Amino acid sequence: MSNSIFGKRSYDMIAFVLLAALILVVLPLTLDAFRLNLVGKYLTYSFVALGLVLCWGYTGILSLGQGVFFGLGGYCMAMFLKLEASSVANTKIQSTPGIPDFMDWNQITALPTYWIPFQSLTFTLVAVILVPCFMAFVLSYAMFKRRVGGVYFAIITQALSAVMTILIIGQQGYTGGVNGITDLRTLNGWDIRPDSSKIILYFVCCALLLGCILLGRFVLTSKLGRILVAIRDKEDRVRFSGYDVANFKVFIFCLASIFAAIGGAMFTLQVGFMSPSFVGIVPSIEMVIFCAVGGRHSLVGAVAGALLINYGKTLFSESFPELWLFAMGGLFIAVVLAFPRGLAGLLTDQVMPWVTRLRIRKSGGSPSVSPSPAE
Amino acid sequence: MANETDFLLALESVTVSFDGFKAVNDLNLYIDKGELRVIIGPNGAGKTTVLDLICGRTKLSSGSIKFKNEEISTLKEQQIVRRGIGRKFQTPSIYEDLTVFENLELSFPRGREVFGALFWNRANEIVERVREIAEMIYLADHLDRSAETLSHGQKQWLEIGMLLIQDPELLMLDEPVAGMSVSERAKTAALLNTIIKNRSVVVIEHDMKFVESIAHRVTVLHQGKVLAEGDMEKIHADSRVKEVYLGH
């Protein structure tokens, strides 16, 4: 059964295959290890953009605090890596060997209790998912059950990202403060720093990203996806169709936070550190822009948006560093004013119909734009 | 007054005030099983507020609302819906971004929990039911159309269809023929006459001709109170009703 907004399923699949070909084949073959690692870093942001497609594009929940979940995922991973890098042998010059260096600098003499479980990789991997998800659950449950939504939700999530940054910076002895957690070396004994490891991590990142896209697609094409659209459209009516709207919003917000957290963990692994500058207001809003430019109604579009903007950012800031913020601001305004459905929308609404018309003209057939009758 | 337990819906001494203004004032209203009740009254009489109260959209200040002898005034909207009360809004309230089929499918009373919806299986039985309802609401040929492209009248029917597929025991319709053409009105009256079987219906309507074509009993509201109640003839003969409503 075809329908209005999911009717572009064939485009979706083509876009997915093109994206997979691009990141799995084209880029690894054409870029050097340094550039490929940069792409890997951009791809970690696109996990966040994917989550925003789910909760903002489809459900209408704008979150300006996705950096918090990205950061929590990243910090969980960084805590494990840091503990592994802080073995007694590696840190014997410290006054308390065996604890992370920044703790030692801050006169902390024993590993804090909540750091201890992060010595286990299994626990860490579970925490990467569950810690951000739990936080998202508490926040969204409290708000959506009270029917706080729209711009109020956006403001509170933004406040959350500010609070989180201040907390991390303020608790320097426990979090590494403004410098973040740096000097990460090995994952279960496997050195993550050489180029060969980075290439493997890049492919892991790609695989996870493609998996998340497929999972997102599964959610959006299920009945739940249509309920999300209905909530965006007429929240009240959904209640009067017998649904508990808050539960659906909590679910999709938690899923978006999990996507962001996976991105954060992959960021830590590929870039080799995590710091509060990826948690705060600015990165959180940047991630919304990635999603908006790519197309907030398209999963693949959001990934493309994250890649393109970051590519532009690197390009621009290598040559005109002071102009970059203006360029991005201008781009965002242009998107909102001129093509609110983003690049993906531009492609499916403008370019594809044009291509179709061209094909029809060539084959001499008549345009078939009349509404299709019921089966 | 008959034994209270006989009523499907009973509103007793219901009052709701918005900042001191009593939109509904000490109202008593009883709906029987299988009854079709029309509520009329001048603007601001509290008609829509009464429906809002029943379906949980507005909370009452005092009084009680019992549905099948269960107090429902403390329940949430979706819980009231699940008890078997359906509500149509004054302006068509449908999901414009979805197709007619999807609008009806979402209203089907199953898979209402998050994971039920995620692993929803569009079974034949559901497709059949959607078709059946679409037939009734004159939209069988438009199932794949996006709801936003429907005409105003078709949107009204779609919303009625979304209620029907829930199979509620009590159906509440707020001005179902507002903004409809003459032929659409006739079709809607026919539709209402088929769907009122086996359920109770409360209709708010201004169009007296339409009211006369469907009504069993009429309640006249005025300033949040019941002014008169009875069959059409009795209402027409009532001098107070003439004064506040029918007269002009």
Q: What is the pLDDT of residues B74-85, one digit of tens each?
A: 999 999 999 999
Taking residues B30-35, report their average pLDDT: 89
Report yes or no: A196 at the B interface, CB cutoff 8 Å: no
Domains and CATH numbers, chain B: 4-246 (3.40.50.300)
Longest dimension (CA), chain B: 59
Q: How would residue A364 be classed by pLDDT, with cut points 50, 70 and 90? A: low
Considering all CA atoms of chain A, what is the largest pairwise distance in Å, rounded to the nearest integer? 82
As given in the structure block, the two tokens for residue B18 are 């918005």
Q: Which of B207 and B119 is assigned the larger pLDDT?
A: B119
More confident call, B248 vs A349? A349
Cα–Cα dist B177/B181, whole Å? 8
According to the model, what pLDDT value does residue A2 have?
39
Residue B247: predicted pLDDT: 64
Minimum CA–CA partner of B165 in chain A: A241
- Distance (Å) from the alpha carbon of A276 to chain B's nearest alpha carbon: 34
Closest alpha carbon to B178 in B47, B69, B31: B47
Residue with tokens 């059964």: A1
Nearest to B96 among A233, A238, A251 (CB): A233
pLDDT for residue A220 is more than 50:
yes
* Burial class, A312, CB count within 10 angstroms (exposed 0-12 / middle 13-18 / buried 19+): middle
Tell if the CB–CB gap between A223 and B77 is shorter than 8 Å: no
Q: How many CB atoms lie within 10 A of CB B59?
A: 10
CB of A322 within 8 Å of a chain B CB? The answer is no
Check CB contact under 8 Å for A242 and B105.
Answer: no
**In chain A, which residues have their Cβ closer than 8 Å to the Cβ of B57?**
236
Spatial separation of the C-alpha atoms in residues A35 and A202, rounded to whole Å: 11
Using a CB-CB cut-off of 8 Å, the residues of chain B touching A372 are: 144
DSSP secondary structure of B9-52: EEEEEEEEEETTEEEEEEEEEEE-TT-EEEEE-STTSSHHHHHH
Confidence of residue B5 (pLDDT cuts 50, 70, 90): low
Residues in chain B: 248
Most trustworthy range by pLDDT among A6-10, A212-216, B55-59: A212-216
Calculate mean pLDDT across residues A168-179.
94
For a pLDDT cut of 70, what percent of chain B falls above it?
96
Residues of A in contact with B114 (CB under 8 A): 224, 247-248, 251
| Partner-chain contact B141 A251, CB within 8 Å | no
Name the minimum distance, in Å, from the CA of B52 to any CA of chain A.
11
Distance from CA of B99 to the nearest CA of A (A): 6
CA distance A307 to chain B (A): 29
User: Exposure string (b/e) for A74-95, b if CB count within 10 Å is 16 or more?
Assistant: bbbbbbbbbbbbbeeeebeebe
> What is the per-residue pLDDT for B39?
92
Contact check, Cβ <8 Å, A241/B55: no
- Given an 8 Å threshold on Cβ–Cβ distance, is B117 in contact with A373? no
B133, B181, B137, B131: which is closest to B155 by C-alpha?
Answer: B137
Give the Å distances, CA to CA, from B82 to A67, A83, B5, B157, B202: 39, 53, 21, 21, 18
Task: Tell whether A221 is within 8 A of chain B (Cβ).
Answer: no
Strand pairing class (B200-204; B170-174): parallel
Minimal Cβ distance to B118: which of A224, A239, A243? A224
Evaluate if residue B166 carries a pLDDT over 60.
Answer: yes
- H or E stretch at B172: strand B170-174
Q: Which pLDDT belongs to residue B198?
A: 82
Task: Report the pLDDT value the prediction gives residue A118, as an integer from 0 to 100.
Answer: 96
CA distance, residue A228 to nearest chain B CA (Å): 10
**pLDDT for res A353:** 81
pLDDT at A1 over 70: no
Query: Taking CB atoms and an 8 Å limit, are B106 and A251 in contact across chains?
Result: no
- Category of A327 on φ-ψ map: left (φ > 0), alpha (ψ -120 to 50) or beta: alpha
Report the C-alpha gap between A218 and A192 in whole angstroms. 33
d(CA A72, CA A208): 18
Query: pLDDT tens digits, residue range B70-120?
Result: 999 999 999 999 999 999 988 889 999 999 999 999 999 999 999 999 999
Q: What count of CB pairs under 8 Å joins A to B? A: 112
The answer to whether A222 contacts B102, with C-beta atoms less than 8 Å apart, is no
More confident residue, B154 or B192: B154
Backbone angles phi, psi at A43, to 5 degrees: -60, -30
Mean pLDDT over A85-103 rounds to 92
Q: Is it the case that residue A252 has pLDDT exceeding 60?
A: yes
User: Quick one: B1 exposed, middle or buried, by C-beta within 10 A (0-12, 13-18, 19+)?
Assistant: exposed
Domain ranges of chain A: 9-363
Determine which of A237, A296, A370 to mutate to test the interface with B (most B C-beta atoms within 10 Å). Answer: A237
Determine the pLDDT at residue B124.
92
> Do the chains contact at A240 and B82, CB–CB below 8 Å?
no
- Residue B20 has a pLDDT of 83
Q: Tell me the backbone φ, ψ of residue A277, rounded to 5 degrees.
A: -70, -5
Chain A hits for B107, CB-CB cut-off 8 Å, are 241
A60-74 confidence digits (pLDDT tens): 999 999 999 999 999
Q: Are B57 and B63 in contact (CB under 8 A)?
A: no
- CB neighbour burial string for A270-304, b if at least 16 within 10 angstroms, e if fewer: bbbbbbbbbbbbebbbbbbbbbbbbbbbbbbbbbb
Chain B residues lying within 8 Å of A243, measured CB to CB = 78, 112, 117
A242: nearest CA partner in chain B: B78
Asked whether the beta carbons of residue A234 and residue B141 sit closer than 8 angstroms, the reply is: no
Provide the edge-to-edge strand list for the sheet that holds B9-18: B21-31, B9-18, B62-67, B70-71
Answer whether A3 sits within 8 Å of B144, measured CB to CB.
yes
